[in-house]
């Protein structure tokens, strides 16, 4: 893969995305276009989101990444993030409970 860090202008994922969920591009396609790994793509998308870019993701009929076409699309994406956060919180709580139930290190059992 080409090292994009040596270029003067960083490539922005948002420059390659179109508006609307129906125009979503898959991660695989974006990786090929940008010549980056899936991990680098994910990190770049998170940087752009945190900088204010309305990059959304969809697992629906047209899976992939897209720019929110309007407030409603961005609100729907925020809702999906809240749902994922709730699910991750439940998993964390279950793992913490399991950890509390495990015997202490070095304890004979």
CB 49 within 8 A of CB 55: yes
Q: What is the pTM of this model?
A: 0.80
The domain that holds 40 is classified in CATH as 1.10.10.10
**91 domain residue, yes or no:** yes
CB 62 within 8 A of CB 21: yes
Domain around 90: 11-101
**15 domain residue, yes or no:** yes
Identify the band that residue 93 occupies on the pLDDT scale cut at 50, 70 and 90. Answer: very high
Average pLDDT (41-50) is: 97
Tokens of 60: 């629906």
Q: Domain total for the chain?
A: 1
Q: Is the dihedral of CA 32, 88, 21, 12 positive or negative?
A: negative
Tokens of 72: 């409603």
**1 domain residue, yes or no:** no
**109 domain residue, yes or no:** no
Identify the band that residue 60 occupies on the pLDDT scale cut at 50, 70 and 90. Answer: confident
**72 domain residue, yes or no:** yes
pLDDT at 46 over 70: yes
Identify the band that residue 8 occupies on the pLDDT scale cut at 50, 70 and 90. Answer: low
**3 domain residue, yes or no:** no
**107 domain residue, yes or no:** no
């Amino acid at each position: 893969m080409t090292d994009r860090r040596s270029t003067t202008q960083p490539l922005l994922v948002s420059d390659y995305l179109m508006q609307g969920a129906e125009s979503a591009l898959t991660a695989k396609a974006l990786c090929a276009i940008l010549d980056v790994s899936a991990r680098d793509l994910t990190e770049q998308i998170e940087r752009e989101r945190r900088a204010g870019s309305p990059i959304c993701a969809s697992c629906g009929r047209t899976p992939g990444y897209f720019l929110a076409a309007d407030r409603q699309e961005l609100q729907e994406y925020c809702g999906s993030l809240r749902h994922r956060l709730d699910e991750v919180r439940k998993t964390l709580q279950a793992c913490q409970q399991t950890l509390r139930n495990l015997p202490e290190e070095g304890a004979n059992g």
